[in-house]
Structure 1
Amino acid sequence: MKEDLQYYMSLPYREVIEADPSGGFVGHIAELPGCITQAETKTALLDLLDDAKEEWLAAALEDGVAIPEPARAEDYSGRFNLRLPKSLHKDLALTAKMEGVSLNQLAMCLIAGGLKASAAKQ
């Protein structure tokens, strides 16, 4: 079954909005390469981003371009393996013990903090 524009417009694509250093805002749809727009306000940007998504999808359908669908929560198990140096493993384990938390909890908090700091820089 071939999907139509309405189908793709209903999918929960991830909208990324960032302040533009020269003023206003820039937004793009993470899963749709090149689907980007800008505006002076966030409200205007959201409207324009929806229009940009619709135009991107319509053009892709017309040209027969494969359209990626957004990732679903069930695509992620919440688990991954990480290899690290023994010395770092030791430092993390000792820190977790001192804090009275599991190594998993400590690693999760450190990763979340790093992601938050990284997002703040962008």
Structure 2
Amino acid sequence: MENSTATIEKLIEKAEIYSKTTLELCKYEAVYKSADIFSNLAVKVAMTIVVVMFLLLINVGLALWVGQELGEIYYGFFVVGFGYFCLAFLLYIFREEWVKNPVSNFIINKMKNENVL
């Protein structure tokens, strides 16, 4: 009887150690995945800032050029602004397909630890 009791106690002790180890592993895996998602997000934000600055300068030049062609500089800014209004309208209409779904899929794929892009 003592032998079976000792065996059960050892089994319970090993199960406890296993559960603690599994919990620690889950914690580290969650930290790794979170760090991976946020580091990818940081790279995308940095690239977005660079692209936005590039596009800003290109758009100012385009607005000045269009304004010069139309006779008044501010006409060019109106034309470029209206173009962005149209783009914003399209983005609003297709926001699910163009923004929400790709971002959701990116996060889900990263959480599943698959290669994205």
TM-score range, shorter chain: under 0.3
Greater helix fraction, Structure 1 or Structure 2: 2
Q: TM-score, normalised on structure 2?
A: 0.27
Q: TM-score, normalised on structure 1?
A: 0.26
Which structure's CA Rg is the greater one? 2
Greater strand fraction, Structure 1 or Structure 2: 1
